[in-house]
A = this chain, B = another copy of it.
Amino acid sequence: MTKFKPISGEKFTKIIDFLTENNIDFLMINNSEETRSPNMQYLTGHPQDATAFVTQKGETYLLPWDISLANKYAVVDEIFDVQNFDKSYMKFLQYFLSEKIKKNKATVGVPSSYSFGSYLMFKNHAPQLEFFTEPQKVSNLLGDLRTTKSPQELDFLREAANIGNKTIPEIEKFALNATDETENDLSILVRKKMIDMGAIDVAFDALVGNTNRSHNIHCYPLASTEKFALPGLALIDYGANYEGYRSDITVPISFGELNDKQKEIRELTRKAYDAAIAILEVGVPLWKVHEAAVNEIEKAGHNMPHSLGHGIGLATHDAPYVSAKPKDPMSLQYWKEVKAENGMVFTIEPGVYVEGEGGQRLENDVIIWNDKVEVITKSRFITVP
């Protein structure tokens, strides 16, 4: 695969409309170690560090870190080399304003994650730039666009899920036969299997928790030298990256006889998962799906310390978010209800965690398409006697 710009023409038009309505001359999107964002690849096809510019006139420009990679992947009107601007971002910006925007004073839109420090630096020293003061609207717009996937994106996501699915029997085999094998062994096995099946990478380094570590939401370190097959509750959270698109799967595993508390953790996780899947259909607000799962857990006196799910796309954590409706007035003001609709792909991953007893999380990926909910990954509770 070489050039592929995920955003559709129709969706791109919505950006132009937004810029026009809000008198924003151009969007400036960063992707760097400091601020990772799937927006870069989504808007330009470029998979790496760069600054992208989308103008109100509908032009897209890229100032990448690696020119050669940009030439290979980016679908933009022009790629600039900072080497030609004396390696100065500021010099490039002056050129860009005068030659491309053709204004001495321009309004720039940035997403919410833009750095406070950069904002102040430009505010204090680049009077020709004015910042649009509702960056949350920019983030929401781009998030909204990424929330529903195109048929091509869905194909990639299905293949990522498929690779993840074919890994589950390998995990089961490992669990059934493990004696001294470590969490690290399982992590490397899963990585190797997915690469062998055509993943360009893992979606993220697998989180592997044996009974001593499964009570952590995301264990630290991600995998360890401890034996995996210790009696009790264990889990592995992993996924494939297929052409940039991800899957995200958690397989809950039990070893040996469980005590009553451990049985309850398992049973509650199952109930929460079933409740979420039962309520999920086109048109349902996603916060209600979160709530359905959480209710099962809370009425048993436990809590769920994380959101029920998240979109999957060019990032493992993409829009939409399957999380609680905020309670405080400030957060509510920035919140928007999102309802399940065709083209969405997200995880459902309830979990119950009790220090001393362990944790369980069951995570599958769902696609909403043709007004139907389809669970595209096949995680299930694995029981090793």
Which of A54-62, A172-180, A321-329 lines the interface with chain B?
A: A321-329
A330 within 8 A of B: yes
In the assembled complex, how far is the CB of residue A255 from the closest CB belonging to chain B, in whole angstroms?
21
Known: A112-B115, A217-B66. A90 touches B121 (CB 8 A): no
Cα-based distance from A100 to B191 in the complex (angstroms)? 46
Interface positions, chain A 300-317, Cβ under 8 Å from B, are 303, 305-306, 317
Cα-based distance from A221 to B88 in the complex (angstroms)? 28
Contacting pair A116 B110 (CB below 8 A) = yes
Contacting pair B48 A113 (CB below 8 A) = no
A114 within 8 A of B: yes
Partner of A113, one of B86, B115, B220: B115
Interface positions, chain A 20-48, Cβ under 8 Å from B, are 33-36, 47-48
In the assembled complex, how far is the CB of residue A170 from the closest CB belonging to chain B, in whole angstroms?
15
Contacting pair A48 B218 (CB below 8 A) = yes
Cα-based distance from A126 to B220 in the complex (angstroms)? 34
Known: A66-B305, A126-B330, A303-B83. A135 touches B112 (CB 8 A): no
A95 within 8 A of B: no
A274 within 8 A of B: no
Contacting pair B192 A188 (CB below 8 A) = yes
A287 within 8 A of B: no
Which residues on the B side are within 8 Å of A110 (C-beta)? 116
Size bracket of the A interface = 35 or more
Contacting pair A117 B135 (CB below 8 A) = yes
Cα-based distance from A67 to B86 in the complex (angstroms)? 48
In the assembled complex, how far is the CB of residue A223 from the closest CB belonging to chain B, in whole angstroms?
8
Which of A34, A116, A306 has the most chain B CB within a 10 Å cutoff?
Answer: A116
Residue of B nearest to A112 (CB): B117
Which residues on the B side are within 8 Å of A278 (C-beta)? none
Which residues on the B side are within 8 Å of A205 (C-beta)? 201, 205
Which residues on the B side are within 8 Å of A90 (C-beta)? 328, 330-331
A195 within 8 A of B: yes
Partner of A220, one of B73, B125, B184, B327: B73
A-B CB contact pairs (8 Å), 9 listed: A33-B36, A49-B218, A65-B306, A68-B353, A89-B328, A90-B330, A91-B328, A111-B117, A121-B334
16 extra interface residue pairs, beta carbon distance < 8 Å, beyond A66-B216, A115-B116: A35-B35, A35-B113, A48-B220, A66-B217, A68-B353, A69-B219, A83-B303, A90-B331, A91-B328, A112-B115, A184-B195, A188-B191, A191-B191, A195-B225, A200-B221, A205-B205
* 9 nearest A-B pairs in the assembled complex, by CB-CB distance: A112-B117, A90-B328, A200-B221, A125-B330, A114-B116, A88-B328, A117-B135, A66-B217, A116-B119
